[in-house]
Structure 1
Amino acid sequence: MLTLGRLFTGVLAVGMCLSSCQDDDETSIDTQTLLFGSFYGECSGERCVEIYKLDTNKRELSEDTQDKYPLANSPYNGQYTALPASFYPLVQDLPNLIPNQLFLEANGSIGSPDASDQGGFYLEVTQNGNRRYWFIDTQKTRIPAFLHPLVDTLSTRIPKLP
């Protein structure tokens, strides 16, 4: 005969097993779409604001056609046109280069992007259904060391894009 105590013990044991079997990483990052780019306020010409959308499912890279200076208090909303397929391999690995520590940072500015006309980088991912976005200083002395490899990569790859 099953007693209430044994039933409770059995339910407790199953619950403990299920909770210990769960993945400890509760962060779900959508690496399908990544927005990235650079911006400069004291600048002239078409290259002052360059924002791109990388879609890994479609294996497509698109460029924003608006070229509006991004506002630090909201994510960037662009209008994108697909680039030739030859540009996709230049940036296809960017989602894998985003350090996990970045997701501990609040949305907004890291460092003082473009405060002294040095420009900044824009980065946006979707995490647990929410848009996460950062405006990152180009001066490595103003940002955490964990961002240095990503900033170096963006510095070398964005100029290779149209």
Structure 2
Amino acid sequence: MKKVLFLVVVTFLCSACSSDDDALETGDYLIFGHYYGMCAGEDCVEIFKLTDTKLYEDTNDNYSLENLKFREMDQATFEKVKDLLTALPEELFTDDTTTFGCPDCADGGGLYIQRSVNGTVCTWNIDQIKENVPEYLHDFIDEVNEKIGLINNP
């Protein structure tokens, strides 16, 4: 009886998991974008995923930033933004803070940043109002917004 129960449990657990060999889930990447809660339209949530060779756009545009679903974008757009991979300030990796300021609290929007290197994933939410965040983030905020603008307005 114990063997039967064990097999049922193992079968259930295996069926609850999915094996997705999608290249989006492997390797190093940078997910970046902005979100605005008091907003209407397509531009309120713009999230992108950048790898060493490709750029993807999230098609869900979900304010919760969960269940991101990416589609590949063209190579010309990738070329415009690929340098963002190396633009993250080093201070981000030494600062224990994961939320800077109060992203989108005063309708100023927030930046969502996630970096994966060698399987280590770091995630940050950054207030777009510069007075609320450390000075070392100011240029980075501008650069992320510039890249989003380049993607959305080719």
TM-score by length of 2: 0.75
How many Å separate the matches in 2 of 1:53 and 1:70?
16
Cα deviation per residue 1:67-95 (whole Å; 9 max; x = unaligned)? 11136xxxx54110011111011210112
Alignment of 1:1-162 (within 5 A): 32-56=28-52, 59-70=53-64, 76-106=66-96, 108-127=98-117, 129-162=119-152
Conservation of the 8 A alpha-carbon contact between 1:121 and 1:138: yes
- What RMSD over aligned residues (CA atoms) do the two structures have, in Å? 1.9
Percent identity of equivalent pairs: 36
Amino acid at match of 2:101: G
Larger CA Rg, structure 1 vs 2: 1
Conservation of the 8 A alpha-carbon contact between 2:27 and 2:118: no
How many Å separate the matches in 2 of 1:63 and 1:36?
10
How many Å separate the matches in 2 of 1:161 and 1:117?
23
Conservation of the 8 A alpha-carbon contact between 2:33 and 2:47: yes
Cα deviation per residue 1:118-138 (whole Å; 9 max; x = unaligned)? 101110012553321011011
Conservation of the 8 A alpha-carbon contact between 2:28 and 2:117: no
C-alpha displacement of 1:36: 0.3
SS of structure 1 residue aligned to 2:111: strand
How many Å separate the matches in 2 of 1:127 and 1:160?
25
TM-score by length of 1: 0.72
Q: Count matched residues.
A: 127
Conservation of the 8 A alpha-carbon contact between 2:27 and 2:119: no
SS of structure 1 residue aligned to 2:40: coil
Consecutive unaligned residues of structure 2, counting only runs of 5 or more, are 1-25
SS of structure 1 residue aligned to 2:28: strand
